Amino acid sequence: MKRLLWALLTTTILNGCGGPGVVAYTRGLLLEREADQEFRKTGIISNASKAKYFKAVEQFNSALHFAPDHALSYYHRGICRARLEQQEAALEDFSKTVSLEPDNAEAWQDRANIYTDMGKFEEAIKDYDAADNLLPDQDRTYAGRSYCYLHLGNLQAALNDAQKAVELEPTAANFCAVGNVQRDIGNFTEMNKAYTKAFVADPHRISTYQTRGFARFIIGQYKLALSDFQIALKLSNWHGEDTPYAVIYGSYSARMLNQNSQSEYLLNEGVRRLNLPVEVDKNARNAQVADWPKAIIQYLHGDIKQDSFLRAALGDKNRMTEAHCTLGLEALLKEDKSVAKQQFEWVLESGRRDYIEFDIAKHRLKEMQAADKVSTHSID
């Protein structure tokens, strides 16, 4: 805090503006840190936290009015904008920061995180490299770069970085990163070992159940996946950030096991607990759709038709990735392999590579191709 305040004080004095810039910057920092504390405590950015981030942005705007080249004001405004999911604006702020202060390792790291969120993995890796050169042996740098390598298909580099992250900080999140890479490598024994170590590191981390549940669903271990999603929902009391996805993939896991009553229960509870509208005209072309991903639950629950569901995703690559995977799974359950293949191929060709839906589509297509080969050999 003292270092940051001194940096602004020096800049503002040099710019002849003195106190007002320091006051605005300090207020911005305090608001940012208050909101960060709430976020770390709950894992969710509440409306109250959003309001503080918005106010912090205003204060940093004011600070930059008095000191237009103050790197740390850009940096902290970028952090707030990232929290508010204003990715392009955050990217601009972090880029400005590293141009003014190229030895700011944290700014390179945070810009890398934004590139990662945007699916720009090559750019992210360059920034993680820069951060590592400036501030070596930070586990979050290795974990972030591992994620990028994983989704670029460089599995060995991804594994090396994930294992280095664990070596530096044996946290549940880092063990999960190792597990995710082992999943894509196809080493399911090592995958399960990594997730087990994640639970040892933090037995109460709900997202570990969710992460393992996704991995198990991807590789077709539906019974185990269903168990993980059920535990995640119970521990979070259905109020976690990823609760909708636990409902969605818990429901799919149950349907794959022909446990339709369990699937119906999860969707009914999802509608009730997530406050989704259930009294809608199922034949209406403009049926009300809740915010994404709740729209997926509405669709699976039968509250909206497919055209309304797709309109809710239209124009958004993230949503379209999830929507096409959903339609592929629906077609697969109905044994309509042609439609399933079409939907899964869309995900692989046009979807987000870092979404679990990409991995689901990839594995399901492989399974379908293997089944076709078996069928062909049987005919021969």
pLDDT tens digit sequence for 253-304: 999 999 999 999 999 999 888 775 544 434 333 334 447 998 999 999 999 9
**Two tokens, residue 135:** 């501030």
Cis ω before 244 (30° cut-off from 0)? no
Burial class (CB in 10 A: 0-12, 13-18, 19+), 377: exposed
What's the rounded mean pLDDT across residues 110-116?
A: 97
Residue of 281 and 249 predicted with greater confidence: 249
| 43-61 per-position pLDDT tens digit | 678 888 899 999 999 999 9
DSSP secondary structure, 132-199, as one string: HHHS-S-HHHHHHHHHHHHHHT-HHHHHHHHHHHHHH---HHHHHHHHHHHHHHT-HHHHHHHHHHHH
Confidence of residue 374 (pLDDT cuts 50, 70, 90): low
The Cα 186–Cα 7 span in angstroms is 50
What's the rounded mean pLDDT across residues 313-322?
A: 94
Asked if residue 331 has pLDDT above 90, the reply is yes
pLDDT for the residue 20: 80
Provide, rounded to the nearest whole percent, the portion of the chain with pLDDT above 90.
74
What's the rounded mean pLDDT across residues 77-90?
A: 95
Q: How many residues does the chain have?
A: 380
pLDDT for the residue 162: 98
pLDDT for the residue 46: 82
pLDDT for the residue 285: 35
Contact 250, 229 (CB under 8 A): yes
| Mean pLDDT rounded to a whole number for the chain | 89
Asked if residue 339 has pLDDT above 90, the reply is yes
What's the rounded mean pLDDT across residues 34-50?
A: 83
Asked if residue 240 has pLDDT above 90, the reply is no
Domain residue ranges in the chain = 1-33+48-101, 315-380
Confidence of residue 379 (pLDDT cuts 50, 70, 90): low
Whether the model clears a pTM of 0.85, i.e. scores above it, the answer is: no
| 159-202 per-position pLDDT tens digit | 999 999 999 999 999 999 999 999 989 899 999 999 999 999 99
The Cα 105–Cα 255 span in angstroms is 47
Q: Reply yes or no on domain 1-33+48-101 having CATH 1.25.40.10.
A: yes
pLDDT for the residue 18: 53
Asked if residue 9 has pLDDT above 80, the reply is no
